[in-house]
Structure 1
Amino acid sequence: MNTPQAAMKPIQRSRLRLFAGKRYFIWKRYLKWWTSRSKVAKQRTSEILSNEVMTHATPLLRSLRNVDMVLQYNKITNLRLAIAKLDGLMVRPGETFSYWRSIGKPSKRKGYLDGMVLHYGGFHSGVGGGLCQLSNLIYWMALHTPLTVTERHRHSYDVFPDEQRTQPFGSGETCSYNYLDLQLKNNTPQTYQLKLWLDDSHLHGEWRCDEQSLYEYEVYESDHRISLEPWGGYIRSNKISRKVFTRTGELVGDEAITDNYALMMYSPLLHG
């Protein structure tokens, strides 16, 4: 049986295979949407719920080798359009948050521009590129709430070094319309609200609640390693977990979240 690392050896597929496969999964997702009976969070409001649960911010611009900065500036436009569909969204008890059902399909007609899109270990320009920064932010914040992650897709490639990284490796969420979605279900009796905004330098987000949170969360990584595989590539792996504390600081839980494996697309600095 192949280990997860061994299974990550790159497989060359034709453009036709990639095109057909993507269309298959897109229409499979549409069918699931049409037949699903789950309650999807849809209501947005300008009224802000009283209790802040988690807040976080990530820089809008990074200096990345061989990446045209125009794509990053275009990303800001794309983020602004997506935020307009998400800011103030209420996730009531029993409802599910769906990233793509809330935003819709990014298109030039809606004003989306060409941004950077990660693709099989590299990148290219694509309409709506850069929206993974938003899904990363929402997922990271959700890990600090009682919301249940019901769908999340990890990055299969580690494309850029850890410059300016403020979160553990593997704590993000990749997205691609519409088959790579981020979904969160509210299994609590409280209502949660997503707040998002941009300033000159950062993308900001908050999860808020109509009641004070009973718990606080500490997300951490363990078993981080970089391994040279027999076929010549480097695999980076770790485990993401979280500790659950009461408001008085008592540890009441230590939960495994996910195991990560990613093919490194740059040379690691290995120290003896």
Structure 2
Amino acid sequence: MDYKENISAMRPKARSKFRIYIGKKYYTYRRYFDWYFGPKKYARTRDENLLPKIYFSHKTPTLRKLKDVDMWYQYNKIINLNIAAKRLNNIIIKPGETFSYWRLIGKPDKSKGYVEGMALFYGSYKAEIGGGLCQLSNLIYWMTLHTPLTVIERYRHSYDVFPDSNRTQPFGSGATCVYNYRDLQIYNGTNETYQLHLKVTGEELSGEWRTEIEPYFKYKVYEKEHSITHEYWGGYMRHNVICRKCYDVNGSQIDDEYITENHALMMYQPFLGEGIG
């Protein structure tokens, strides 16, 4: 894969506080306009009765011991995940509807019970109200890649902040989220209804995409062309391509499709050990 034409754009740029503020305002109000005046039909229906079939399920640990990161970030993250998951839990996506992560959750603020958690910020991290919700968008994105639903909007992480630690999914298989302009949107272009079911415990965040009929495809998501490059401006970049293979009910492969590519600035020296306590 040829990354050369993208390198200049990937080089970190210093942004003034004013530039960041104006940029956020512009994209925030552009998103509001899309939500309320755009042509998409957004999913809004919730049903406490679960659809009978599980198309795909996954779970991730809520507590990870990261090097030089206080554990209170993790405990507060669980509080935030509980609040946000309740806004999304059991939402129904009918054929032709679009799931919008932020439209359903709303703005995370203190009045709704959100507390400070860890939020990635220009290659580092900071305390922010509602911090930690990327774990929820990551989970939903990963599960969606194992269904016939279509991801129509997703943003990759621009920075690779922490070294891998017991990674079970390919690098770059998550979806970053920033209220409200970095959204995760999923379109149901099938003839079946889907339902998102979520649960948060003290140790795990778990989720399911459920449907009315027996799953008719199975998917295997994988990475290829993984590389680390040392750039002319001194930093290291990490790259890969995410693809998935599709199998029918008999186990025969019927497709092998490109999903996305990732390019992230590494905020640690490559080829280190675990790096996480």
TM-score, with normalisation over the residues of structure 2? Answer: 0.95
| SS of corresponding position for 1:230 | coil
Q: CA contact under 8 A between 2:155 and 2:183: conserved in structure 1? A: yes
Matched, 1:164 2:166: yes
Q: Once structures 1 and 2 are overlaid, which stretch shifts more, 253-262 or 23-32?
A: 23-32
Matched residues in 1 for 2:110 and 2:167: separation? 31
Which consecutive residues of structure 1, in runs of 5 or more, have no partner in the other structure? none
Aligned match of 1:130: 132
Matched residues in 2 for 1:191 and 1:31: separation? 27
Aligned match of 1:147: 149
Deviation per CA, 1:168-193, whole angstroms, max 9, x where unpaired? 00100000000000000000000000
Matched, 1:109 2:111: yes
Which consecutive residues of structure 2, in runs of 5 or more, have no partner in the other structure? none
Aligned match of 1:232: 234
Opposite residue 200 of structure 1, the aligned amino acid is G
State the Cα distance separating 1:7 from its structure 2 match. 2.0
| SS of corresponding position for 2:128 | strand
Opposite residue 243 of structure 1, the aligned amino acid is K
State the Cα distance separating 1:263 from its structure 2 match. 0.3
Aligned match of 2:75: 73
1:171-210 correspondence to structure 2 within 5 Å:
171-210=173-212
Opposite residue 57 of structure 1, the aligned amino acid is K
Matched residues in 2 for 1:11 and 1:37: separation? 35
What value does the CA root-mean-square deviation take over the aligned residues? 1.3
Q: CA contact under 8 A between 2:78 and 2:202: conserved in structure 1? A: no
Matched residues in 2 for 1:32 and 1:134: separation? 23
Matched residues in 1 for 2:153 and 2:165: separation? 28
Opposite residue 151 of structure 1, the aligned amino acid is E
Aligned match of 1:254: 256
State the Cα distance separating 1:32 from its structure 2 match. 1.3
Q: Percent identity?
A: 54
Q: CA contact under 8 A between 2:160 and 2:264: conserved in structure 1? A: yes
| SS of corresponding position for 2:66 | coil
Q: Identify which of 202, 220, 223 aligns with 1:221.
A: 223
Deviation per CA, 1:81-110, whole angstroms, max 9, x where unpaired? 001111101101001000001101101000
CA change 1:87–1:270 in 2 (3 A) is closer
TM-score, with normalisation over the residues of structure 1? Answer: 0.97
Opposite residue 193 of structure 1, the aligned amino acid is Q
Q: CA contact under 8 A between 1:5 and 1:261: conserved in structure 2? A: no
Matched residues in 2 for 1:183 and 1:46: separation? 22
